[in-house]
Structure 1
Amino acid sequence: MYSDEDLNEAVNKGIFSPAAVNEFRQQFAQARNIHQVDEENFRLLSGFNDVFVVIASGLLLASLTWLGFETKPVLGALILAAGSWGLAEVFVRRKRMALPAIGLLLSFLAGLFAVPITLFDVSHSVHELQFVAAGLLTVAGAWLHWQRFRVPVTVAAAMVSLFLGVFGVLFSQFPEIRFYYQPYLAGAGLITFALAMYWDAKDPKRQTRNSDIAFWLHLLSAPLIVHPIFSTLGIFSGVTGYSTAMIVLALYTLLALVSIIVDRRAIMVSALVYVVYAMSGLLENYGFVSYSMALTGIFIGGSLLLLSAYWRQSRSFLVNNLPGKAQTFLPATH
């Protein structure tokens, strides 16, 4: 199995001509009655062997990490990071396997993040400065991993590590911030969304690795933006009245419009759990305790399927009514 990135590499090596590859892409899209850009492709599996390698790698790394942790906690963290990098040399750099690339990246960064935290007695509470060190170390590790392996999810993982480090600094210097962190979390989401749009603008045709990078950033940005808003509304405290539910639906509708305009379903998917929770809670308040989840699923699922069926038409209507300058940064609608 191959991806757009593999086709681009074949063109760069002179195996195929650019015209032949473009013609193949058009024929492929026409045969399946799809619009190539709107498919929002990203590479997750290159075959079932990916799943096999992830399971085997997980068993090996978990066992080695446990043995190291029994000796000394920081040793377990170092073994996890080093083992993940070593396996990535084989299965990512040489064999170019998609799912193991994501799994081994996350385990590598998890090992690095755990190093500053496990340097001290884990029975004591973790100081904010340890999170600062963990975040900065993980960002540095993510940069090195990116330089070596170019795994698209690396940028999103690095953003998470960076935010943890920044929040660690803020919490250590201004302890009162931890009681009203929501605006900072929403700010982190907006920064992530802006970065995602930057990568999207570099590849409006969605044919290179830049599109995959943007996908993971969009997947991260939505919950960062939505969670603090819903938390402020009291959704997670059981406050699910009529007005609250309407605000939730209005916010999700806004996210849906943004998702359609920028052509990224990942934004809607990553915020979907909040809407389902709010709507089911509202129905329970009105006496539909036994059927709240079923009715919510029917309403939300049906709406999303209808939107999917008319996604291209919806995009054309919305994008064509935007200013011409804004349209140049968005994927084409035809």
Structure 2
Amino acid sequence: MYSESDIAQAVEAGVLSPEAAAAFRDHVAAGRSAPAVDEEHFRLLSGFNDIFVAIAATLMLVAAARIGALMGTLPGAGGDTPQQVGLAFTGGGLAVAALAWLLAEYFTRKRRMALPSILLLLAFVGGTFIGLSGIGVMNGENLKVALDVSGEVEERQLAASIAAIVALLTSIAAWLHWKRFVVPITVAAGAAALVAVVVALILGFVPGADRWLNPLLLVAGVLVFLLAMRWDMSDLERRTRRSDVAFWLHLAAAPLIAHPVFHMLGVFDGAIPVGMALLVVALYVAFAFVALAVDRRALLVSSLIYVLYAMYTLFNQSGAVELSAALTALVIGSALLTLSAFWQPMRRGVVSLLGGLDARLPPVHRPEYA
């Protein structure tokens, strides 16, 4: 029910002494046979009321999107013209963003409810992006005329510029939300928006850049991962909100790293040869090494579908056609459960191979109990 950030805030407020907080952490760690830093905590629910409020908020946000879209349409306009579509997107998106902000004033700022706060943040950022995109759609044709845009290249550059501006404004909106409500997932949402800005500009203004989309996303993923590590290294014991921010950044970085790598290998382009399947499995082992080193599991989850497909291919090509799916699930499931059960000793072994880097990583020592 209580996260590390809640305990840290209680210490700051004088409700708990630092000694009492440390004793509480040690007690919980002893009961779980693992230090709290290895549990990778993040607060999703503070009680069933979180689910209740999340459902009610979702209903209100859906209603706001529909009402805003209807109110934003041009009276008497026929067909799905750009202006009609743009106004619908603008009305619906901005209505959702405004309602999400208002609801966050109570449920996030005052009540500090975990699940509703995440939902409202995503609704605010998503609503802002959709609303601004609608404005871009509405004014696209006017901008073409005003800027005397002609030709496929210039049109692509204009579209990329609009997309980049929309993403940049969305990231600014996420920053304002962070300054007001300090919801940990906000930093990851803003980072994703900034990635969209850069990718949109490169795709629009660099000829042939679309062929390099996967490498671009991979570079972006590595940069987001490094940002996550910066937040992680500022709280190696994972006792403050900074650790929660790092968690969501790792969750954003993981698909940006895993998916481009496996797509460049052509995993889903057709039946993959045995050598390629073994390479996929080897890459998953490498991801596991990184996950153990930084004590974050997001990379393993994001790349799971690829290793499942690779293992399925290996069993299928070895002749176990009817049992290939079952054997794949058995092997991967067993491996993941083993990894979870022996996470801490395996971490110690991995970190011991990294030399002086252990001082920049979460501690691997297991506290001794009487």
2:304 to 249, 272, 276: 272
Secondary structure of 2:183's partner?
Answer: coil
Q: Does 1:3 align with 2:34?
A: no
1:12 Cα deviation (Å)?
1.1
Tell me, yes or no, if the aligned pair for 2:274 and 2:313 is still in contact at 8 Å.
Answer: no
* Corresponding residue number in structure 2 for 1:283: 315
Amino acid at match of 2:24: F
1:286 Cα deviation (Å)?
4.5
* Corresponding residue number in structure 2 for 1:29: 29
1:31 Cα deviation (Å)?
2.6
Which deviations, in whole Å up to 9, do the C-alpha atoms of 1:172-216 show, x marking residues without a partner?
Answer: 212421122111111001101101110110011011111111111
Q: Does 1:332 align with 2:368?
A: no
Q: Does 1:152 align with 2:184?
A: yes
Farther off after superposition, 116-125 or 238-247: 116-125
Larger radius of gyration: 2
1:122 Cα deviation (Å)?
11
* Corresponding residue number in structure 2 for 1:62: 62
* In structure 2, distance between residues paired with 1:281 and 1:71: 52
* Corresponding residue number in structure 2 for 1:206: 238
Tell me, yes or no, if the aligned pair for 1:69 and 1:75 is still in contact at 8 Å.
Answer: yes
Give the count of matched residue pairs. Answer: 333
Tell me, yes or no, if the aligned pair for 1:45 and 1:99 is still in contact at 8 Å.
Answer: yes
Q: Does 1:299 align with 2:335?
A: no
* In structure 2, distance between residues paired with 1:229 and 1:302: 25
Secondary structure of 2:208's partner?
Answer: helix
Tell me, yes or no, if the aligned pair for 1:116 and 1:130 is still in contact at 8 Å.
Answer: no
Which deviations, in whole Å up to 9, do the C-alpha atoms of 1:88-126 show, x marking residues without a partner?
Answer: 111111110001111111110011111232122599999
* In structure 1, distance between residues paired with 2:169 and 2:140: 22
* Corresponding residue number in structure 1 for 2:96: 80
Do the aligned partners of residues 15 and 116 (structure 1) sit closer, same or farther apart at CA in structure 2, a change above 3 Å counting? closer
Which deviations, in whole Å up to 9, do the C-alpha atoms of 1:54-88 show, x marking residues without a partner?
Answer: 11111111111112112321111110110111111
1:288 Cα deviation (Å)?
4.2
Do the aligned partners of residues 123 and 162 (structure 1) sit closer, same or farther apart at CA in structure 2, a change above 3 Å counting? closer
* Corresponding residue number in structure 2 for 1:259: 291
* In structure 2, distance between residues paired with 1:318 and 1:143: 36
Farther off after superposition, 82-91 or 120-129: 120-129
Farther off after superposition, 235-244 or 42-51: 235-244
Do the aligned partners of residues 97 and 247 (structure 1) sit closer, same or farther apart at CA in structure 2, a change above 3 Å counting? same
Farther off after superposition, 221-230 or 83-92: 221-230
Amino acid at match of 1:333: V
* In structure 2, distance between residues paired with 1:284 and 1:230: 20
1:281 Cα deviation (Å)?
3.8
Secondary structure of 2:45's partner?
Answer: coil
1:129 Cα deviation (Å)?
2.5
Amino acid at match of 2:361: L
* Corresponding residue number in structure 1 for 2:228: 196
* In structure 1, distance between residues paired with 2:245 and 2:322: 41
Which deviations, in whole Å up to 9, do the C-alpha atoms of 1:37-70 show, x marking residues without a partner?
Answer: 1111111111111111111111111111112112
* Corresponding residue number in structure 1 for 2:275: 243
1:242 Cα deviation (Å)?
0.5
Secondary structure of 2:44's partner?
Answer: coil
Secondary structure of 1:328's partner?
Answer: helix
* In structure 2, distance between residues paired with 1:213 and 1:268: 19
* Corresponding residue number in structure 2 for 1:133: 165
Do the aligned partners of residues 194 and 287 (structure 1) sit closer, same or farther apart at CA in structure 2, a change above 3 Å counting? same
Secondary structure of 1:160's partner?
Answer: helix
* In structure 1, distance between residues paired with 2:59 and 2:319: 46
Amino acid at match of 1:99: L
Tell me, yes or no, if the aligned pair for 2:167 and 2:193 is still in contact at 8 Å.
Answer: yes
1:301 Cα deviation (Å)?
0.8
Q: TM-score normalised to the size of structure 2?
A: 0.86
Secondary structure of 1:178's partner?
Answer: helix
Unaligned runs of 5+ in 2: 73-87, 142-154, 366-370
* In structure 2, distance between residues paired with 1:75 and 1:162: 24
Q: Aligned-pair RMSD on alpha carbons?
A: 1.9
Q: Does 1:97 align with 2:113?
A: yes
1:287 Cα deviation (Å)?
4.8
1:289 Cα deviation (Å)?
4.4
* In structure 2, distance between residues paired with 1:40 and 1:259: 12
* In structure 2, distance between residues paired with 1:15 and 1:86: 30
* In structure 2, distance between residues paired with 1:130 and 1:46: 40
* In structure 1, distance between residues paired with 2:324 and 2:55: 36
* Corresponding residue number in structure 2 for 1:107: 123
* Corresponding residue number in structure 1 for 2:52: 52
Q: TM-score normalised to the size of structure 1?
A: 0.94
Amino acid at match of 2:184: P
Tell me, yes or no, if the aligned pair for 1:139 and 1:162 is still in contact at 8 Å.
Answer: yes
